[in-house]
Structure 1
């Protein structure tokens, strides 16, 4: 079993976090070229709406219950990390307050048992947050947020040799926390840096009966650009 404490997490998370930004840098360059084409007239006045396009790196917590009947210790079922795009729509209903809806398309993840791939599944994780913007008129505009995540699980294809096919719950409801900042580049145009922690979990089923539970509980680090209008 994994020992508790900060050190094991830091050694595992930080290299994965840093390496994620190599492909993210390329994605940001593509996003930037698209947003440059937005007409200047649409950026001249900051309105109540903001759309951000981001490249996001998902780093899973890799937590799972032990399966005594199969001789599987805790935390041996893992879910692959992922880099993918997301789009969010924010509505500023007060100077310091906004709601943010984060959207993407279904993402496929590999599932491993003791380091060996046993299948895959897809998840669709729309998230709704309430944000407080500390410096809404500043060059750098930090914010904090909290909300709820609904994860829909589909296309489950997982099987263990000499055991049979496994299934996952079809949905998960959890909480989300967020810190980030919008950095003003031009009128109405922003660089966005964002970090979220989301609770996502699912029971693991064998012949319809729960045999374990997996906690994906990912960190979501993203970088992108936004337009406010």
Structure 2
């Protein structure tokens, strides 16, 4: 009985890591970007191509976040990730064709609200902030260049996408585990208002462009740790 009493005293004396001012939380996850795309018709040299549209494929990468608790219920989170690589497609030109691909980084800053008591083991949260998405390494596919060639292009095309600045909203939950409850199982979703203009410069033909509302939902599943 003395042994059981000693073990119980030891477990009860382990400090509970709480969501309190000064706490720092890091989270790593598998992050999947699922675009909800709305595209204008493509235009070629200023002339609209009716029935055409651009699309953006899903992509996954390593997601990283860091939160600093300003108080027991509010924190500031910075969201980062390894580059996401998206395939780009065009429909309405007969068969759907691959336009090319691009990489992007989505740095995001959010003010978070944690409604539960600081010492709870299951802690939901909401966040609202801003996102700045940077596109880079844009490439036009061979299939698209061959199509442009049949239309009179005199060389390979060049693709560019405008960077985007917009609102971001988040909902997530931490589930603490371990002897001192420092470790967290984390589930979160992030919505981003992401708008860009895709432009393909085609030698001999001019520019092919489209306004694209990407507005992705980002799902994150991973682990966290509280310091």
Query: How does the TM-score come out when normalised to structure 1?
Result: 0.74
Structure 2 equivalent of residue 228 of structure 1: 226
Decide whether the 8 Å contact of 2:54 with 2:210 is kept in 1: no
Deviation at 1:58, TM superposition (A): 1.2
Relative distance call for 1:84 and 1:225 in structure 2 (3 A) is same
How many residues align? The count is 186
User: Partner of 1:121 in structure 2?
Assistant: 102
After superposition, residues 144-223 of structure 1 pair within 5 angstroms as 144-158=126-140, 160=144, 161-162=147-148, 165=157, 167-186=159-178, 187-207=181-201, 211-223=209-221
CA RMSD of aligned residues (A): 2.2
Compared with structure 1, are the counterparts of its residues 70 and 166 closer, same or farther at alpha carbon in structure 2 (3 Å cutoff)?
farther
Bigger radius of gyration among the two: 2
Distance 2:208 2:169 in 1: 29
Shift of 1:170: 3.9
Query: What is the aligned counterpart of 1:71 among 38, 49, 58?
Result: 49
SS of the residue 2:166 aligns to = strand
**Cα separation, partners in 2 of 1:112 and 1:72, compared to 1, 3 Å:** farther
Say if 1:152 and 1:90 are closer, same or farther in 2 by CA, change over 3 A: same
- Contact 2:16 2:119 (8 Å CA) reproduced: no
Q: Which has the higher helix share?
A: 1
Measured in 2, the distance between the counterparts of 1:50 and 1:89 equals 6
Cross-structure match for 2:32: 57
Q: Distance in 1 between matches of 2:223 and 2:33?
A: 18
Structure 2 Cα separation of the partners of residues 169 and 57 of structure 1:
20
* SS of equivalent to 1:138: coil
Gaps of 5+ in 2: 1-14
TM-score normalised over the length of structure 2: 0.74
Aligned equivalents of 1:64 and 1:215: distance in 2?
Answer: 6
